[in-house]
Amino acid sequence: MKPDWRPGASLETLKARAELLGSIRAFFHARGVMEVDTPILSRHATVDRHIESFHVPGAGLWLHTSPEFAMKRLLAAGSGPIYQLCHVFRAEEAGRWHNPEFLMLEWYRPGWDHHRLMDEVEALMRAVGVGREAAFERLSYREAFRRHAGLDPFSAGLAELREAPVRRGCALPEGLAEPDFADRDLWLDLLMSAAVGPRLGGGTPCFLYDFPASQSALARVRLDDPPVAERFELFWNGTELANGFHELGDAAEQRRRFEADRGWRRERGRAVPPYDANLISALGAGFPDCAGVALGVDRLLMLLRGLPDLAATLAFDSARA
Amino acid sequence: MSTVSTSDMKAGVKILIDGVPFSIVENEYVKPGKGQAFNRVKIRNLKTGRVIEKTWRSGDSFEAADVEERDLQYLYTDGEFWHFMDPANFEQHTADKTAVGDAAQWLKEQDEVRIMFWNGQPLTVTPPNTVTLKIVETDPGVRGDTVTGGTKPAKLETGAVVKVPLFINEGEVIKVDTRTGEYLSRVK
């Protein structure tokens, strides 16, 4: 590729970006949510199975993949409702919908659950010009899979999960090792990317909620039958824009999940970063019941402006940075 | 041996799968925010030209295929093989019927063609998008008939048969689009 000094986004798009950031800040200011600013470099990193951190060699530091741990420590310290707009970094994520460095909006609401936070996400979307009169759709993960993948994600057998992507025009993944081949979540993730996600939120955005407990990440698990993670995602025109949790506040359970994720990584020869023990301490010191959500601002801008890829929303995407 | 990871698979990159060379046509990285990443890739089999779809785990890698394209001058055919010359170093190369394929009917001596080499051997031969060739056989022209839009078959000096307007005569030189096999214009 020929080196090009010019920005990937048009000046018009950069102006729209500035206005979007202004609208977001005005929204939270009017609602009494405090803007915070936490470190990008940390001595700890996420151990999430499918999110890779950039390591800064020599310094023993990691670039954060989300401001979640630091913001939760502020919540435990009594900050009240807080939001942050910051760049986050995820190694290996690049494509039409991904850039290894992207702008995230993350906020937390003490005393709220994930349904109440969905109301506020919807209000923010309307404030920046997304959606018309119709209320955003709310679909459970189970209902979305029944509708768009033709199966029940909780009860379908492995064989059915493996056949479903092919029946929907997605080539069967090749070269899977045995533990991955038997991993239900791998097949659910592929179905989500290939069949379910692209059909969500056409025109009017759609919330997906109550995920399988195996995909709880940092969400609470509600002991229904089957148990579900109190987690939601927002889709608009087939694109995932936000992910939120009714946040896990149990220090012991949080430690158990971190250790399990580290074990999973170790078994597969992946990087095993140190997790933030400060977060465990903060949860133990009295973490407020709360809900939190992270939203990809570049993707939101891409959809608002009808742009073909993320690079067209960024002053300089990773190929130009 | 160099390898190509899914993240390096830009359109046009060549890889080897089970000993067959493929070219990347399209590569889409898909990943739920908290979920597993895949690449949904369209690849072209460079031997058959067929495009197929694959799904790979992100980070999977393949052997790079030693494939390069060069523009060579067509010299002649001995009936079994087609002979070409690299104008840069005057090196000669020989392609068989499988490599030349349908391009044979457009090959005129001295014309430049694009040849894809795999491990140093010609794999495919692509004629120029348009060629200028002489008509060696066609029914007599209909004088003055330039408006009815009727056509007739005409055999060209390289063996190809194309449809030409009725007013075109034997011995005339015409321009043809090799991708569609369509007559474009008369060359004076």
pLDDT, tens digit (0-9, with 9 covering 90-100), for B59-89: 999 999 999 999 999 999 998 999 999 999 9
Which residue of A190, A196, A241, A257 is the best one to mutate when testing the B interface, meaning the one whose CB has the most B CBs within 10 A?
Answer: A190
* A271, pLDDT greater than 60: yes
Which residue of B31, B39, B51, B58 is the best one to mutate when testing the A interface, meaning the one whose CB has the most A CBs within 10 A?
Answer: B31
Which residue of A46, A51, A186, A189 is the best one to mutate when testing the B interface, meaning the one whose CB has the most B CBs within 10 A?
Answer: A189
Per-residue burial over B74-84, b = 16 or more CB atoms within 10 Å of its CB, e = otherwise: beebeeeebbb
Residues of B in contact with A185 (CB under 8 A): 35-36
The answer to whether A180 faces chain B, any CB pair under 8 Å, is yes
Q: What percentage of chain A has pLDDT greater than the value 70? A: 99
The mean per-residue pLDDT over the stretch A281-286 comes to 95
Counting one residue from chain A and one from chain B, the pairs whose CB atoms sit within 8 A come to: 81
The pLDDT, as a whole number, for residue A176 is 87
The pLDDT, as a whole number, for residue A3 is 65
The mean per-residue pLDDT over the stretch A72-95 comes to 97
Say if residue B10 is exposed, middle or buried (CB neighbours under 10 Å; 0-12, 13-18, 19+).
Answer: exposed
Residues of B in contact with A144 (CB under 8 A): none
* A210, pLDDT greater than 70: yes
The pLDDT, as a whole number, for residue A89 is 98
The answer to whether B183 faces chain A, any CB pair under 8 Å, is no
Instruction: Provide the residue type at B98 as one letter.
Output: T
The answer to whether A97 faces chain B, any CB pair under 8 Å, is yes
Contact at CB, A96 and B33, closer than 8 angstroms? no
CA distance B169 to chain A (A): 48
User: Is residue B145 very low, low, confident or very high in pLDDT (cuts 50, 70, 90)?
Assistant: low
The mean per-residue pLDDT over the stretch B109-137 comes to 94
The answer to whether B71 faces chain A, any CB pair under 8 Å, is no
CA distance A260 to chain B (A): 16
The mean per-residue pLDDT over the stretch A224-239 comes to 96
Place of tokens 């449809």: B163
Residues of A in contact with B26 (CB under 8 A): none
The pLDDT, as a whole number, for residue A137 is 97
Q: What is the ipTM of this complex?
A: 0.90
* A1, pLDDT greater than 70: no
Computed over every residue of chain A, the mean pLDDT equals 95
The answer to whether A215 faces chain B, any CB pair under 8 Å, is yes
Taking CA–CA distances from A233, the nearest residue in chain B reads B33
The pLDDT, as a whole number, for residue B140 is 85
DSSP state of B35: S
The pLDDT, as a whole number, for residue B144 is 63
The pLDDT, as a whole number, for residue A179 is 81
The answer to whether A233 faces chain B, any CB pair under 8 Å, is yes
Q: Are B137 and B177 in contact (CB under 8 A)?
A: no
* A162, pLDDT greater than 80: yes
d(C-alpha B131, C-alpha B181), whole Å: 10
Contact at CB, B31 and A165, closer than 8 angstroms? no
Could you tell me which residues come within 8 angstroms of residue A44 by beta carbon, excluding any fewer than 6 positions away?
A62, A69, A273, A274, A275, A276, A277, A278
Backbone angles phi, psi at A178, to 5 degrees: -55, -50
**Residue ranges of A 101-140 with Cβ closer than 8 A to chain B:** none
Residues of B in contact with A102 (CB under 8 A): none
d(C-alpha A107, C-alpha A117), whole Å: 10
* B149, pLDDT greater than 80: no
| Residues A11-136+245-313, CATH architecture | 2-Layer Sandwich (3.30)
pTM: 0.87
The pLDDT, as a whole number, for residue B148 is 65
Taking CA–CA distances from A197, the nearest residue in chain B reads B32
Enumerate the domain spans of chain A. Answer: 11-136+245-313
Which residue of A193, A264, A268 is the best one to mutate when testing the B interface, meaning the one whose CB has the most B CBs within 10 A?
Answer: A193
Contact at CB, A175 and B33, closer than 8 angstroms? no
pLDDT in tens, A3-47: 689 999 999 999 999 999 999 999 999 999 999 999 999 999 999
The mean per-residue pLDDT over the stretch B90-106 comes to 94
* A273, pLDDT greater than 90: yes
* B107, pLDDT greater than 80: yes
Taking CA–CA distances from A270, the nearest residue in chain B reads B59
Contact at CB, A193 and B38, closer than 8 angstroms? yes
